[in-house]
Amino acid sequence: MGCVASSEGEEPKSPPATLAERKAKARTKRKEGSLVHNLVHEEFGRDIQEFYDIEGEVLGEGIQGVVRTVVNKKTGAKFAMKTVPLGAGKNSLAMDQLRSELDLIRRLDHPNIVRLQEVFETEDSLFLVMDLCTGGDMMTRWQRNRRLRYSEEEAALTVKKIVNAVRYCHKRCVVHRDLKLENLLWEHPGEDAEPQLVDFGLGVKFSKEDETFHQDVGSLYYVAPEVLGRNYTKACDCWSIGVIAYMLLAGAPPFMAPSDEGVKIKIKWARVSFPKEVWDKISDDAKDFIKRMLVKSPAKRMSADEACAHPWMTKPRNKQNGVEPVAQAEAMSERQEEGGGGEGAAAVASVTPSTTESSAALDPELVRRLRNFADYGKLKRVALGVIAHSLTPAEIRTLRTEFQNVDVEGRGEISPMDLKNALNKSDNYTDEEVERLFEQIDLDQDGTIGFTEFVAACLHEGHVRDENLRLAFDRLDYDDTGKLTLDNLLEVIGHKSNERTIDKEITDAEVFDALVGEEGKGVSYDLFKKAMIKNFASTDFNSPSVFSTLVRAASKLSIEEVARVTGGSTEDADTIVSGSQATLHGRNSTDALNTMDQQSEEAKHRQRSVDSVTSTEGDGAQYF
C-alpha cells in the first residue's frame, strides 16, 4: 500500500501530529463517518502483540513495509498484517496522505474487495490488519498458466467480478489508479476462489464525475494513455481492466516493446491487435469488450457501468474457475429439488456459484434468520455487524454467495426491490413486511443493504461464541472503560444516529436501563453476552434438507466448514462428513444416513454451550 503521489509544489515542513492529536482526530472522524467506516477498529499507543501473534510467515515486502500472517489471540483467526514505518521523515502531509488512504479503504464493503479489519498506530509504526487471501496474486497464477491461457469462460467471470468491484468504487467516488494482476488476490488456492481487489495506496477520492488528476502513477503495462500525459479521470481504471482482460485471454500484454519508452509509445497510439493464432477461437464479444475498454479517448471509453452491461459480461456462463458445466448443473438441480434447506444448501452454491442474472430464492434457513434479526434490538444488531466484519473470508464464503444471488446486478449492495424479489421466490411477502425487514437490516440507514449488513443478519449461533462476543464488546467499548455506553453505540453507528432513535430500538429492558435509564452506568460484558445469546435463532440442524445437501457437499467441505455451516460442534460435523463420504462412495449409504439422522436427533435434545463451538481457518499460502 503506497502513498498517494504528492501534489506539485513544496511539501509543508510542519511536523506530524502527536499520537494524542491523531487519536482525537480519528475519533472526530468516527462520529462523522458511517457504520461501515467505523467497523474498522482503531487502537492508538497499544502494543499490537497484546492482540495478535505477529511471528507468522512473511508474505511480501515492498517500499512501504512488510506483510506477514498474524493470528488473533482471541479468536485464533488468521489475517494479513502490513507494517508501515512512521519514521522521522514522515511530515504532516505524508501522514495526512496515509490517513486519506485508510479512509478510502474504510468506505468500501464489497465481496470482491479485501476488507481492512483493524489499524494499530504507535509513535513510529502503523499496523494494518486485513483479510488473509491464501491463493496468491493473479499475476502468479497468470504466469503459471500463460501457455494454456485462461478459458474464455474463466476470463469473463473473473473480469466481471473485477468490473463489479471497480463500479462499486466509482459509485463511492473512489478511483483505484493501479489496477493490475499483482493487485488482485485469490481468496484461497481452490479453483472456485474469487478475486479480491487490494492496495489502494495510489487510490484517490473524486468529488465530481469528470474530475481530473495529474500525478504520475500506476504500472507501465496497465496505464492509460492520458495517465502518461498526466491529465486523466476515473476512466483510467477502465483502461486497466481492458488490459487485464486481454492478458487473461492472450497470455501477454496488449502493448509490448523492447524498452519502456517503446511500450509508452504503443500505449499512446492505443492500437490494439488480435493475432489470429491466439484470438481465432475467442468470441467477437470478448474482442469487442476489450476494444471498447482500450479506446484512446476517455470520453469514448466504456465506463464501469457500461462495461457491466456489455454482452460479454451479461451472457450466462456455465463454468467458473474450473467448475465443469455438468457438475454445476447437477448441483443446482439438486438444490432446486430440495427447495433450499439450511446453510448446507448454500454451501453447495458456494462451490458452484450461480451465474445467471435472475434472482435466486433465498435459502429458507436464511430467511428465518433475517426475520429474527429484524426483531433484535439495536445494540444486538450492531454487535452482530461487528462480528460479521471480523469473520474470515472462509467463514462467510457461503453467505457471500447468497448475497451475490440476491444482488443480481452485481452492484455490491441490495436494494429494496432485490430483497423483495428474493423473498417472494421463497414465499409471498407484503410490501410492509419487506420494508420492515429492509429497514432493520440496513443498519447505517443509507437506503441499501451492504455486504457486511447482510452477513450480520444471516449469522447463526455458531458465530455467537464467547471469543467473538468478547471481540465485539471490546471493539464497541472504544474508550476502554469495560462498559458499553450509549455514546459508544452512537459512535460506531456514526452520523446517521441520535439518542431519540436509538432509545426506541433498544428492546431488552436490562440493556435499556443500563444504557439510558436513570441509573444507567453502561452495559457490562456479562449483560452484553446474556442479551446477545437471549432468543438468538438457532440453525435447524435437524432439517432433512440440511443433511441431504451436506451429503452432496461433503466432498468439498472440511469438518470445520461443516461445523460452521450447521452451527454444531466439530464432533457432530465429523459424524456428518464420515456418513456423507460413505454415501457419496456408495458404501453402506443407508446406514450412513441412519447414523446421521440418529446424530441429528441426539443433537436436537442436547443443549450446546455456545462457548464450545469452535472455528478454524486453513493454513495460509501467500498474500502477494
Question: 98 pLDDT exceeds 60?
Answer: yes
Q: Model confidence at 32, in pLDDT bands (50, 70, 90)?
A: low
What contacts 78, CB < 8 A, 6 or more positions away? 56, 69, 70, 71, 72, 132, 392, 617, 620
Q: Are 404 and 157 spatial neighbours (Cβ–Cβ below 8 Å)?
A: no
- Give all strands (DSSP E) within 415-564, no chain letters: 449-450
Question: 380 pLDDT exceeds 80?
Answer: yes
CA nearest neighbour of 439 among 378, 362, 358? 378
- Mean pLDDT across 351-374: 71
CATH number of 19-130: 3.30.200.20
Catalytic residues, which ones?
178
Per-residue H/E/C for 137-172: EHHHHHHHCCCCCCCHHHHHHHHHHHHHHHHHHHHC
Q: CATH 1.10.510.10: which residues of the chain?
A: 138-314
Distance CA(221)–CA(214), nearest Å, equals 19
Q: CATH 3.30.200.20: which residues of the chain?
A: 19-130
CA atoms within 13 A on the CB side of 105: 26
What contacts 296, CB < 8 A, 6 or more positions away? 225, 268, 269, 270
Query: Containing H/E element for 501?
Result: helix 499-504
More confident residue, 569 or 334: 569
Q: Model confidence at 418, in pLDDT bands (50, 70, 90)?
A: very high
Q: Which three cell numbers stand for residue 127?
A: 499496523
Distance CA(529)–CA(317), nearest Å, equals 45
Distance CA(157)–CA(162), nearest Å, equals 9
Range with the lowest mean pLDDT among 522-531, 543-552, 554-563? 543-552
Range with the lowest mean pLDDT among 8-12, 57-61, 89-93, 476-480? 8-12
Residue 520: the pLDDT is: 59
Give residue-wise pLDDT tens across range 105-141: 888 999 999 999 999 999 888 999 999 999 999 998 8
- Mean pLDDT across 576-593: 48
Q: Are 57 and 135 spatial neighbours (Cβ–Cβ below 8 Å)?
A: no
- Mean pLDDT across 31-60: 86
What contacts 360, CB < 8 A, 6 or more positions away? 349, 354, 405, 406, 422, 425
What contacts 361, CB < 8 A, 6 or more positions away? 340, 422, 425, 426
Angle value at C-alpha 465, between 43 and 576, nearest 5 degrees: 135
- The percentage of the chain sitting over the pLDDT mark of 90, rounded to a whole number, equals 45
- The percentage of the chain sitting over the pLDDT mark of 70, rounded to a whole number, equals 68
Residue 336: the pLDDT is: 37
Distance CA(130)–CA(392), nearest Å, equals 10
- Mean pLDDT across 11-17: 55
Q: Model confidence at 496, in pLDDT bands (50, 70, 90)?
A: low
CB burial of 93-105 (b: ≥16 within 10 Å; e: otherwise) equals bbbebbbebbbbb
- Mean pLDDT across 333-338: 36
Give residue-wise pLDDT tens across range 270-303: 999 999 999 999 999 999 999 999 999 999 999 9
Q: Are 399 and 458 spatial neighbours (Cβ–Cβ below 8 Å)?
A: yes
Max distance between CA atoms of the chain, in angstroms, equals 79
Q: Which residue type occupies 199?
A: D
Angle value at C-alpha 378, between 374 and 381, nearest 5 degrees: 60
Residue 611: the pLDDT is: 33
Residue 288: the pLDDT is: 98
**Residue 126 forms beta bridges with which residues?**
84, 121
Q: Which residue type occupies 83?
A: T
Give residue-wise pLDDT tens across range 518-531: 555 788 899 889 88
Burial class (CB in 10 A: 0-12, 13-18, 19+), 36: buried
Burial class (CB in 10 A: 0-12, 13-18, 19+), 278: middle
- Mean pLDDT across 216-221: 93
Range with the lowest mean pLDDT among 24-28, 101-105, 117-121? 24-28
CA nearest neighbour of 475 among 610, 396, 394, 384? 384
Q: Are 345 and 545 spatial neighbours (Cβ–Cβ below 8 Å)?
A: yes
Reduced to 3 states, what is the DSSP secondary structure of residue 80? strand
Under DSSP, the state recorded for 345 is H
Give residue-wise pLDDT tens across range 391-413: 999 899 989 999 999 999 999 99
More confident residue, 598 or 388: 388
Range with the lowest mean pLDDT among 446-455, 489-498, 577-586? 577-586
CA nearest neighbour of 314 among 150, 163, 160? 160
Q: Model confidence at 202, in pLDDT bands (50, 70, 90)?
A: confident
Distance CA(448)–CA(419), nearest Å, equals 10
What contacts 222, CB < 8 A, 6 or more positions away? 178, 179, 180, 239, 240, 243, 244
Question: 590 pLDDT exceeds 60?
Answer: no
Q: Are 78 and 56 spatial neighbours (Cβ–Cβ below 8 Å)?
A: yes
CB burial of 313-324 (b: ≥16 within 10 Å; e: otherwise) equals beeebebbbebe
- Mean pLDDT across 155-169: 97
Packing angle of the helix pair 397-406, 416-424 (nearest 10 deg): 100
More confident residue, 267 or 494: 267
CATH 1.10.510.10 fits 138-314, yes or no: yes
Give residue-wise pLDDT tens across range 230-242: 999 999 999 999 9
Q: What is the CA radius of gyration of the chain?
A: 25
Distance CA(142)–CA(498), nearest Å, equals 50
Across the chain, what does the average pLDDT equal? 78
Q: Which three cell numbers stand for residue 579?
A: 456418513
Residue 454: the pLDDT is: 97
Under DSSP, the state recorded for 242 is H
Reduced to 3 states, what is the DSSP secondary structure of residue 78? strand
CA atoms within 13 A on the CB side of 292: 18
Other C-beta atoms lying within 10 Å of the C-beta of residue 172: 15
CATH 1.10.238.10 fits 325-533, yes or no: yes
Burial class (CB in 10 A: 0-12, 13-18, 19+), 566: buried
CA nearest neighbour of 620 among 391, 393, 350? 393
